[in-house]
C-alpha cells in the first residue's frame, strides 16, 4: 500500500540542478547525459517526501541555484484545471518528464498527488507546485506549474492558486466532454482574467470524439475550436505542443523586481522539523535568506531561513525574484500563520496586500466522535496533525450524552469532509463516528434581549440546541449554492424532479451539444449535503456531473424539530429543518429509531415534534414474552452468563426518561448515511 | 433380560403414593429430615439419538453402533464416583435425559438405579423420569422401563401436526405420539408428561390452540409448553437464515403462550414454572430441584452438576461439567472413575444470583424462608425493598414482593428475563454494600 502511494520513480532533477548551477545553458536533452547518475529512489509515504527533500537540500546547500538567470519575460506561471479523471495529473506527469524534471519511466503516475486519498479518488486535495525548466527556440524558460485542488470545495484555494498564474490548461476528456467541474473551473479562470488553453485529452480512446468536444468548448466557453490542442497524455501524443502553447499563449507575469517585496501565499504545509513551508508567488521585489518579512494578515515578523523552488521537491535558491514561484521557510510554527491568500512583505517596507484574502469559511459541519471513548486522545492527536496541514478545517470540542466527548468540525464542503475522514482512517488508522452533516444557518434577531446577549443582530447557528425561537427572530437564513449539472438530455426530466424535490430554483438551461444539457440551479446547501450527489448519479446511470459554488444566503423558513421518547426530548436528536421537509425528515428519524430501539417492558412512543405539535410517530411495542423456555440443570450456567452480560450492557445505556437507548441506536440515527 | 423386579415395582407404587401425599401438602415443600447438602437429584445423560432433529443443539450423537455395555458400565462407575464425592445420603429423584434415553436398554436404566441405591439411600418413592421418543417406545419397552424402576415418563411429542413434525425433523407422526401417550398412561397413570412446542416458523395461533385443545383430550396431568428457540448451528436456524423458512414471529409466539397458559389454567393445570403445567400435584420434583437451587449430580457425557464435594472435604458448591464427547468421556471414566472436565466453585453471590434467576421461574417464586436458607443476613426486603427500579416493576404489576416473598405476576413471568436485568444488578449492589470487598489473604 505504501509503495503504491508513492510509486516508483527516478529523480533526474537532482543531477540536473547541479548541471544548472554550473552551466546554465545545459539543454533538456543534455541533462540526460550528465556525469551524475540519476538517483533512483523509492518514495515512501507522503510524509517521507519532505525528509527526502531535506536530505537533498542539505546536500545542495553549498550550491544554491541562482534564480536571477530567469528574467521575467522567460517565466510562465500556469495551472492545469479539469473535471475529475479527465487527466490533469497524467498531463502533469508528462510535462515533468518532458522537461526532465523527473525521469521518464512507466511508473510516473500522478507524481504530484502525494496523498493516498488523492490517488484513490483521482483528485488533488493538496496543491503541489513544480518548476520546470524548458528550452524553447534557444531560450531557457522557467515554467511554474501550479497544481490546484480539483474540487470546488477548495474553490478558494483554487482561486488563490490561480491568482499566482497568468494562464491555465483547461483539460477536457475527449470522450466525456465538458462536465460540471470543467465549467466551474473555467469560470474561476475566466474571472481571474487568465489565458485559457483548452486541451482535449484522451484522444486515443476508442470512443473519443474530439470534434464534438471542440464544439462544446466553442459553445460554452466561446473559445474558437482551432485553439484546442488534442493530446493523449497517457501516450504522450502531442504533449510537446502544450508546452509550446504555454510559452506562446500565456503572457509572462506583470511584475517589478525593483519594487519592495510583495509575495502571495497560495499554499502551506507543515514539516515537523522545519515548521511551516509556505508556497509563495512573488508579485514584486525579491526575497532571500536572512530577510525579515511580515505577514499582512497576522502582522507577525519572521526571518527567512530558506527560499527555493520546487521541482517538485525543494531545491534551495539564493533568492527568489518577482514573477517566480517557490517555497519559503521562516520559522512559522503553525499553518494558520501562513494562511492561503495572505501577503508577505519586507519588514519596514509595507505594501498594499494582494486582494482577495479570506479566512477559510466552513460550509458543512459534522460531529466527530471516537468509536471507543478510550481512543479519544489518539483521535485528538490525529486531528491535530491533519489540521496542521489544513487550516481550513475548524475544530471545536463538543460532547454528546450519547456519543461521549468529540468535536464539531467545519469543512469547506462535502468532499473536503470525506477526504478528511478518509485521511484520518488511512493515515492515522482512526475509526470515527461522523454525524449527519449540517450547514451553518443564520438568524436575524428581533429580540433586543437576544441581540444584547449575542452582541450582534445576525447570528450563525451551528448547534441546533441554540436555535432561537421564531418569536425572537425577524428571519432565518440558509446558505445556498449555485449548482451546475451537465447531463445527457434523456435524464433531464428526472433531474429536474430531483432538484424540485430539493427546493432548488432553476436559473438556466442550455444544450451544450446535440444531446447534452447544462442546468444551473440555485440550491439550498443543506439539500445537497447528504445524498444529492448519489441520487443524481444513480438516476442518471452515472452520466450526470455536478458541481457547485457558494451563492451566499437566502431567507428561509426553518423550524426546530424535537424527537421525543415517551414524551421526553432527546437532546442529541434536535434537528433544524426546513418547514416543508419537517414531516419527511421527522418520519425518517422516527423510523430509524424504531428499527434500532430494543423492546422494553413498556410501549415506547417515538415522536417528532415541532413545538407542541406532533408531526410523526412510531411505536415500539412492549415485550410480551422474554423468558428462556427451557431452563434446567444444563442450561443454568449459560443463562446466568448471558443475563449478567446483558445486565452489564444495560448499565451503559443512555436513559431518556424511562426509556433505555443503546448507543447504537443514536449512531444509526446520527451517522451520515453513506449507503443511501 | 433380568430386571431388579421387586424393588422397581415397589418404587413405582411408592411414587404414586408419594404423589398423592404431595397433592395434599402442596408442592415445593420437603418434609425431609435430611439437610439440603445431604441430598441431591441425579441427572443421567444418554447422548445418542436415532436422527438429528432440526431444532436441537443438545449434546447428542448419532452413533453407528453403541457398545451399550461399555456405556452402561461407565454411567454406573461415574454415578458411584460422584455420589461418593458429593457425600449425599439421599437421592430424591433420578432423571434419564438425552439424547434419546428411551433408545437405551431398560437394563442400563436398571443398572444405574441399582448403583445409586447401593451407594446411597434411594427412597422407594423417589421420582425416576425417563425421556421417551414416541417411535422408540412401544408399550412393551415402556413396560420394561417401568420394571427397571422408571416411574415417570416425559414424552417428546412436540406437535400434533404431521407437517410440523416433519419440519422439526422428528421421526414420529401425530398418531404415533397419541398412541404412545395412551400406552404410557396405562403403564404410568398420573405420571406422564408431554412436550408441546410453540412459535414454529409459519405456525399460526388458532391452529396451534387447536392442537393444545386436542392434546388436552388425551394428556395426563403434566404438560410442558416450549417456545422454539432458534439455536445457532441447527438445520432450522440455517433454513431461516437463508430465507427458506420464515422467521418465527415473536408476537404470535407471545400470543400462543398467553392463550395456552389461559387454556391450561382453565383446564385445572397449575403453571408451576415458566414452561411447565401440572394438575393433581403431578409436578416434576426433579426439575423443581433445579429451580430451587437444590444439589444435583450430573452423570454422563456433557452432564452438568451443582453440589458440594463433601466426600472430598469440599465446602463450596461447585458447578461441574462432564466431558462432552462420549468416547473421550468413557476413556476418562475408565481411567479416573469420572469424566468431570470442568469444576467451578460458586461464591455466595453467584449462588444467590442463581437462587434469584431460577426461583422466579416458579409460581411460588422465592419465599422468605427459601431465601433465608441461602442468605441468612440480607432479607429479600433488604435487597429489593428500597430500589426505585424494582419499585417501578412492582408498580407495573410485573413483580410482587410481600409477606410470602418475591415472585412474578402472571404478566411478569412471561418477561422474566427482562425483569432479571433489573434484579440481578440490584442484588449485586446490595451484596457489595453488605460485604466490604474482601481483604487479600482472608
pLDDT of residue A152: 59
Task: State the DSSP code for B280.
Answer: T
Give residue B375's pLDDT band: very low, low, confident or very high (50, 70, 90). very high
Residues of chain A in contact with residue B392, where contact means CB-CB under 8 angstroms, are 658
Give residue A117's pLDDT band: very low, low, confident or very high (50, 70, 90). low
Task: Name the residue among A490, A218, A275, A479 with its Cα closest to residue A363.
Answer: A479
Cβ–Cβ contact A641 with B under 8 A? no
**Across the interface, do B227 and A629 touch by the CB < 8 Å criterion?**
yes
Closest in A600, A630, A643 to B275, CB measured: A630
pLDDT of residue A121: 54
**Run of H or E including A556:** strand A545-556
- pLDDT for A419-456, tens place per residue? 888 888 888 888 788 887 888 899 999 988 888 988 89
Closest in B226, B305, B398 to A629, CB measured: B226
The three-class DSSP label of residue A260 is coil
Task: State the DSSP code for A440.
Answer: -
Name which residue leads in pLDDT, A120 or B129: B129
Smallest CA–CA distance, residue A483 to chain B, in Å, is 45
pLDDT of residue A295: 94
The answer to whether the CB of B224 falls within 8 A of the CB of B286 is: no
Using H for helix, E for strand and C for coil, what is the string for B194-261? EEEEECCCCCCHHHHHHHHHHHHHHCCCEEEEEECCCCCCCHHHHHHHCCCCCCCCHHHHHHHHHHHH
**Across the interface, do A626 and B416 touch by the CB < 8 Å criterion?**
yes
CB pairs under 8 A between A and B: 101
Q: Is the pLDDT of residue A165 over 80?
A: yes
| Angle in degrees, CA A181, A185, A186, rounded to 5 | 115
How far apart (Å, rounded) are the C-alpha atoms in residues A241 and A203?
A: 15
First vs last C-alpha separation in chain B:
58
pLDDT of residue A33: 31
Q: Which residues, 6 or more positions from B142, have their beta carbon under 8 angstroms from its beta carbon?
A: B132, B153, B180, B183, B184, B187, B188
- pLDDT for A171-213, tens place per residue? 999 999 999 888 888 988 888 899 999 999 999 999 999 999 9
Task: State the DSSP code for B316.
Answer: S
Residues of chain B in contact with residue A620, where contact means CB-CB under 8 angstroms, are none
Mean pLDDT of B277-283: 97
Expressed in percent and rounded to 5, the helix, strand and coil fractions of chain A are 35, 30, 35
Cβ–Cβ contact A273 with B under 8 A? no
Smallest CA–CA distance, residue A647 to chain B, in Å, is 5
Residues of chain B in contact with residue A600, where contact means CB-CB under 8 angstroms, are 418
Task: Name the residue among A674, A673, A575, A670 with its Cα closest to residue A371.
Answer: A670
Mean pLDDT of B93-114: 96
Give residue B52's pLDDT band: very low, low, confident or very high (50, 70, 90). confident
Using H for helix, E for strand and C for coil, what is the string for A276-325? EEEEEEEEECEEECCCEEEECCCCCEEECCEEEEECCCEEEECEEECCCE
Smallest CA–CA distance, residue B106 to chain A, in Å, is 24
CA-nearest residue to B392 within chain A is A658
**Across the interface, do B398 and A601 touch by the CB < 8 Å criterion?**
yes
C-alpha cell belonging to residue B292 = 430451587
Name which residue leads in pLDDT, A1 or A57: A57
Closest in B229, B250, B258 to A629, CB measured: B229
From residue B330, give the alpha-carbon distance in Å to each of A360, B58, B302: 77, 19, 11
Residues of chain A in contact with residue B417, where contact means CB-CB under 8 angstroms, are 626-628, 643
- The interaxial angle of helices B348-359 and B416-434, nearest 10 deg, is 150
Q: Is the pLDDT of residue A61 over 50?
A: no
**Across the interface, do B298 and A639 touch by the CB < 8 Å criterion?**
no
The three-class DSSP label of residue B144 is helix
Q: Residue window 430-489, chain A: list those with CB within 8 Å of chain B.
A: none
CA-nearest residue to B274 within chain A is A629
The three-class DSSP label of residue B423 is helix
Q: Is the pLDDT of residue B12 over 70?
A: no
CA-nearest residue to B295 within chain A is A633
Least confident of A18-32, A322-336, A612-626: A18-32
Residues of chain B in contact with residue A637, where contact means CB-CB under 8 angstroms, are 304, 319, 321
Cβ–Cβ contact A59 with B under 8 A? no
**Across the interface, do A640 and B350 touch by the CB < 8 Å criterion?**
yes
Smallest CA–CA distance, residue A85 to chain B, in Å, is 41
**Across the interface, do A643 and B253 touch by the CB < 8 Å criterion?**
no
Give residue A109's pLDDT band: very low, low, confident or very high (50, 70, 90). low
Give residue A485's pLDDT band: very low, low, confident or very high (50, 70, 90). very high
Give residue A336's pLDDT band: very low, low, confident or very high (50, 70, 90). confident
C-alpha cell belonging to residue A266 = 497560495
Among A627, A630, A657, A659, which would you mutate to test the B interface (most chain B Cβ atoms within 10 Å of its Cβ)? A627
How far apart (Å, rounded) are the C-alpha atoms in residues A78 and A243?
A: 11
How far apart (Å, rounded) are the C-alpha atoms in residues A540 and B413?
A: 56
- pLDDT for B62-90, tens place per residue? 887 779 999 999 999 999 999 999 999 99
**Across the interface, do A633 and B305 touch by the CB < 8 Å criterion?**
yes
How far apart (Å, rounded) are the C-alpha atoms in residues A473 and A463?
A: 17
Residues of chain B in contact with residue A646, where contact means CB-CB under 8 angstroms, are 421
Give residue A106's pLDDT band: very low, low, confident or very high (50, 70, 90). low
Among B357, B363, B365, which would you mutate to test the A interface (most chain A Cβ atoms within 10 Å of its Cβ)? B357
**Across the interface, do B414 and A629 touch by the CB < 8 Å criterion?**
no
ipTM of the complex: 0.93
How far apart (Å, rounded) are the C-alpha atoms in residues A342 and A357?
A: 6
Smallest CA–CA distance, residue A638 to chain B, in Å, is 11
Go through A461-489 and write b for each residue having 16 or more CB atoms within 10 A of its CB, e for each that does not: bbebeebbebeebebbbbbbbbbbbbbee
Backbone angles phi, psi at B424, to 5 degrees: -60, -50
Average pLDDT over chain A, rounded to an integer: 82
Cβ–Cβ contact A619 with B under 8 A? no
Residues of chain B in contact with residue A629, where contact means CB-CB under 8 angstroms, are 226-229, 274-275
Cβ–Cβ contact A643 with B under 8 A? yes
Task: Name the residue among B174, B261, B260, B257 with its Cα closest to residue B218.
Answer: B174
Residues listed for chain A: 676
The answer to whether the CB of B269 falls within 8 A of the CB of B262 is: no
Among B259, B262, B304, which would you mutate to test the A interface (most chain A Cβ atoms within 10 Å of its Cβ)? B304
Closest in A621, A643, A658 to B417, CB measured: A643
Cβ–Cβ contact A655 with B under 8 A? no
How far apart (Å, rounded) are the C-alpha atoms in residues B149 and B127?
A: 10
Closest in B417, B419, B424 to A628, CB measured: B417
How far apart (Å, rounded) are the C-alpha atoms in residues A585 and A590?
A: 9
Among A619, A621, A629, A648, which would you mutate to test the B interface (most chain B Cβ atoms within 10 Å of its Cβ)? A629
Cβ–Cβ contact A647 with B under 8 A? yes
**Across the interface, do B229 and A630 touch by the CB < 8 Å criterion?**
yes
The three-class DSSP label of residue A135 is strand
CA-nearest residue to B426 within chain A is A647
Least confident of A44-53, A642-651, B424-433: A44-53
Go through B298-324 and write b for each residue having 16 or more CB atoms within 10 A of its CB, e for each that does not: bbbbbbbbbbbbeeeebeebbbbbbbb
Closest in B290, B296, B416 to A627, CB measured: B416
pLDDT of residue B20: 56
Closest in B304, B350, B418 to A633, CB measured: B304
Give residue A75's pLDDT band: very low, low, confident or very high (50, 70, 90). very high
Task: Name the residue among A75, A286, A100 with its Cα closest to residue A166.
Answer: A75
Task: Name the residue among B104, B382, B55 with its Cα closest to residue B245.
Answer: B55
Among residues of chain B, what percentage have pLDDT more than 90? 83
- pLDDT for A144-163, tens place per residue? 998 776 665 677 777 788 88
Q: Is the pLDDT of residue B430 over 50?
A: yes
Task: Name the residue among A182, A211, A218 with its Cα closest to residue A85.
Answer: A182
**Across the interface, do A626 and B255 touch by the CB < 8 Å criterion?**
no
pLDDT of residue A115: 58
pLDDT of residue A19: 29
Mean pLDDT of B14-37: 57
Q: Is the pLDDT of residue A22 over 50?
A: no
Residues of chain A in contact with residue B200, where contact means CB-CB under 8 angstroms, are none
Using H for helix, E for strand and C for coil, what is the string for B390-420? HHHHHHCCCEEECCCEEEECHHHHHCHHHHH
Residues of chain B in contact with residue A636, where contact means CB-CB under 8 angstroms, are 290, 304, 306, 319, 354, 357-358
**Across the interface, do A631 and B274 touch by the CB < 8 Å criterion?**
yes
Q: Is the pLDDT of residue A568 over 70?
A: yes
Among B96, B226, B354, B420, which would you mutate to test the A interface (most chain A Cβ atoms within 10 Å of its Cβ)? B420
Amino acid at each position: 500500500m505504501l509503495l503504491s502511494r508513492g510509486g516508483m520513480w527516478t529523480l533526474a532533477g537532482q543531477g540536473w540542478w547541479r548541471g544548472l548551477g554550473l552551466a546554465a545553458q545545459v539543454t533538456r536533452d543534455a541533462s540526460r547525459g550528465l556525469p551524475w547518475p540519476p538517483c533512483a529512489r523509492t518514495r515512501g509515504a507522503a510524509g517521507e517526501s519532505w525528509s527526502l527533500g531535506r536530505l537533498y537540500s542539505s546536500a545542495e546547500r553549498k550550491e544554491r541555484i541562482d534564480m536571477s538567470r530567469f528574467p521575467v519575460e522567460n517565466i510562465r506561471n500556469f495551472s492545469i484545471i479539469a473535471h475529475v479523471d479527465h487527466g490533469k495529473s497524467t498531463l502533469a506527469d508528462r510535462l515533468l518528464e518532458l522537461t526532465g524534471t523527473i525521469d521518464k519511466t512507466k511508473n510516473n503516475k500522478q507524481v504530484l498527488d502525494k496523498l493516498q486519498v488523492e490517488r484513490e479518488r483521482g483528485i488533488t486535495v493538496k496543491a503541489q507546485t513544480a518548476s520546470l525548466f524548458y528550452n524553447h527556440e534557444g531560450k531557457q524558460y522557467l515554467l511554474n506549474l501550479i497544481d490546484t485542488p480539483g474540487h470546488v470545495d477548495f474553490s478558494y484555494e483554487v482561486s488563490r492558486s490561480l491568482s499566482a498564474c497568468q494562464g491555465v490548461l483547461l483539460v477536457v476528456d475527449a470522450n466525456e466532454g465538458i462536465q460540471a467541474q470543467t465549467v466551474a473551473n473555467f469560470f474561476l479562470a475566466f474571472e481571474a482574467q487568465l489565458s485559457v488553453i483548452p486541451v482535449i485529452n484522451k484522444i486515443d480512446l476508442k470512443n473519443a470524439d474530439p470534434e464534438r468536444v471542440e464544439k462544446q468548448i466553442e459553445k460554452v466557453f466561446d473559445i474558437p475550436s482551432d485553439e484546442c490542442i488534442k493530446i493523449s497524455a497517457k501516450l504522450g501524443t502531442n504533449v510537446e505542443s502544450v508546452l509550446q502553447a504555454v510559452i506562446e499563449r500565456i503572457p509572462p507575469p506583470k511584475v517589478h523586481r525593483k519594487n519592495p517585496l510583495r509575495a502571495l501565499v497560495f499554499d502551506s504545509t507543515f514539516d515537523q522539523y522545519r515548521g511551516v513551508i509556505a508556497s509563495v508567488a512573488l508579485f514584486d521585489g525579491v526575497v532571500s535568506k536572512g530577510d525579515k518579512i511580515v505577514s499582512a494578515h497576522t502582522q507577525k515578523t519572521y526571518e527567512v531561513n530558506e527560499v527555493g523552488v520546487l521541482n517538485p521537491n525543494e531545491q534551495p535558491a539564493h533568492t527568489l525574484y518577482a514573477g517566480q514561484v517557490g517555497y519559503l521557510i521562516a520559522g512559522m510554527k503553525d499553518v494558520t500563520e501562513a494562511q492561503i491568500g495572505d501577503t508577505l512583505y519586507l519588514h519596514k517596507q509595507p505594501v498594499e496586500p494582494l486582494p482577495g484574502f479570506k479566512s477559510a469559511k466552513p460550509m458543512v459541519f459534522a460531529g466527530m466522535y471516537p468509536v471507543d471513548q478510550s481512543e479519544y486522545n489518539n483521535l485528538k492527536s490525529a486531528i491535530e496533525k491533519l489540521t496542521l496541514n489544513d487550516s481550513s478545517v475548524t475544530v471545536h470540542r463538543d460532547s454528546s450524552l450519547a456519543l461521549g466527548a468529540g468535536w464539531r468540525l467545519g469543512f469547506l464542503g462535502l468532499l473536503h469532509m470525506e477526504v478528511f475522514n478518509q485521511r484520518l482512517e488511512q493515515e492515522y488508522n482512526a475509526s470515527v463516528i461522523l454525524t449527519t452533516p449540517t450547514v451553518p444557518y443564520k438568524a436575524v434577531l428581533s429580540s433586543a434581549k437576544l441581540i444584547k446577549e449575542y452582541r450582534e443582530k445576525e447570528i450563525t447557528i451551528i448547534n441546533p440546541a441554540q436555535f432561537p425561537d421564531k418569536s425572537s427572530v425577524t428571519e432565518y437564513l440558509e446558505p445556498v449554492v449555485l449548482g451546475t449539472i451537465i447531463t445527457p438530455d434523456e435524464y433531464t426530466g428526472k433531474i429536474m424532479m430531483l432538484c424540485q424535490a430539493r427546493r432548488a430554483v432553476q436559473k438556466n438551461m442550455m444544450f451544450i451539444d446535440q444531446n447534452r444539457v447544462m442546468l444551473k440551479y440555485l440550491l439550498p446547501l443543506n439539500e445537497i449535503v447528504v445524498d444529492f450527489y448519489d441520487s443524481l448519479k444513480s438516476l442518471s446511470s452515472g452520466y450526470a456531473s455536478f458541481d457547485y459554488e457558494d451563492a451566499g444566503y437566502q431567507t428561509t423558513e426553518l423550524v426546530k424539530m424535537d424527537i421525543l421518547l415517551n414524551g421526553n426530548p432527546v437532546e442529541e436528536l434536535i434537528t433544524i429543518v426546513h418547514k416543508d421537509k419537517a414531516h419527511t425528515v421527522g418520519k425518517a428519524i422516527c423510523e430509524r429509531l424504531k428499527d434500532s430501539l430494543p423492546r422494553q417492558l413498556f410501549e415506547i412512543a417515538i415522536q417528532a415534534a415541532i413545538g407542541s405539535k406532533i408531526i410523526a410517530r412510531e411505536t415500539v411495542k412492549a415485550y410480551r414474552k422474554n423468558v428462556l423456555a427451557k431452563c434446567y440443570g444444563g442450561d443454568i450456567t449459560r443463562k446466568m452468563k448471558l443475563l449478567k452480560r446483558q445486565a452489564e450492557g444495560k448499565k451503559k445505556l443512555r436513559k431518556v426518561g424511562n426509556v433505555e437507548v443503546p448507543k447504537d441506536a443514536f449512531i444509526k440515527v446520527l451517522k451520515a448515511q453513506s449507503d443511501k | 433380560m433380568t430386571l431388579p423386579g421387586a424393588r422397581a415395582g415397589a418404587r413405582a407404587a411408592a411414587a404414586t403414593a408419594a404423589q398423592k401425599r404431595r397433592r395434599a401438602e402442596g408442592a415445593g415443600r420437603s418434609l425431609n429430615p435430611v439437610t439440603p447438602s445431604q441430598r441431591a437429584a441425579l441427572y443421567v445423560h444418554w447422548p445418542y439419538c436415532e436422527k438429528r432433529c432440526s431444532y436441537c443443539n443438545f449434546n447428542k450423537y448419532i452413533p453407528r453402533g453403541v457398545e451399550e455395555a461399555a456405556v452402561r458400565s461407565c454411567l454406573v462407575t461415574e454415578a458411584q464416583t460422584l455420589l461418593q464425592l458429593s457425600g449425599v445420603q439421599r437421592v430424591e429423584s433420578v432423571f434419564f435425559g438425552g439424547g434419546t434415553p428411551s433408545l437405551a436398554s431398560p437394563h442400563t436404566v436398571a443398572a444405574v438405579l441399582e448403583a445409586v441405591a447401593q451407594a446411597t439411600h434411594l427412597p422407594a418413592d423417589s421420582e425416576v423420569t425417563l425421556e421417551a421418543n414416541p417411535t422408540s417406545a412401544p408399550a412393551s419397552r415402556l413396560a420394561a422401563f417401568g420394571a427397571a424402576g422408571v416411574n415417570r415418563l416425559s414424552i417428546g411429542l412436540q406437535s400434533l401436526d404431521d407437517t410440523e413434525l416433519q419440519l422439526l425433523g422428528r421421526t414420529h407422526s401425530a398418531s404415533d405420539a397419541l398412541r404412545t401417550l395412551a400406552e404410557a398412561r396405562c403403564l404410568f397413570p398420573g405420571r406422564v408428561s408431554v412436550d408441546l412446542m410453540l412459535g414454529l416458523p409459519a405456525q399460526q395461533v388458532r391452529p396451534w390452540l387447536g392442537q393444545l385443545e386436542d392434546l388436552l383430550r388425551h394428556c395426563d396431568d403434566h404438560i410442558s409448553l416450549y417456545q422454539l428457540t432458534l439455536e445457532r448451528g441447527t438445520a432450522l436456524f440455517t433454513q431461516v437464515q437463508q430465507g427458506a423458512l420464515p422467521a418465527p414471529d415473536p408476537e404470535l409466539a407471545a400470543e400462543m403462550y398467553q392463550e395456552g397458559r389461559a387454556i391450561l389454567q382453565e383446564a385445572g393445570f397449575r403453571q408451576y414454572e415458566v414452561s411447565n403445567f401440572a394438575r393433581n400435584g403431578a409436578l416434576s420434583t426433579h426439575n423443581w430441584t433445579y429451580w430451587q437451587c437444590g444439589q444435583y449430580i450430573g452423570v454422563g457425557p456433557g452432564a452438568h452438576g451443582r453440589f458440594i464435594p463433601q466426600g472430598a472435604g469440599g465446602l463450596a458448591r461447585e458447578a461441574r461439567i462432564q466431558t462432552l464427547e462420549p468416547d473421550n468421556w468413557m476413556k476418562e471414566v475408565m481411567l479416573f472413575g469420572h469424566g468431570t472436565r470442568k469444576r467451578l466453585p460458586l461464591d455466595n453471590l453467584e449462588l444467590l444470583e442463581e437462587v434469584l434467576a431460577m426461583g422466579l421461574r416458579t409460581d411460588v417464586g422465592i419465599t422468605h424462608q427459601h431465601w433465608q436458607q441461602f442468605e441468612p443476613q440480607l432479607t429479600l426486603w433488604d435487597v429489593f425493598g428500597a430500589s426505585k427500579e424494582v419499585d417501578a416493576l412492582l408498580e407495573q404489576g410485573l413483580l410482587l414482593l410481600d409477606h410470602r416473598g418475591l415472585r412474578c405476576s402472571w404478566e411478569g413471568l412471561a418477561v422474566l428475563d427482562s425483569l432479571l436485568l433489573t434484579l440481578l444488578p440490584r442484588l449485586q449492589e446490595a451484596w457489595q454494600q453488605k460485604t466490604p470487598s474482601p481483604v487479600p489473604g482472608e
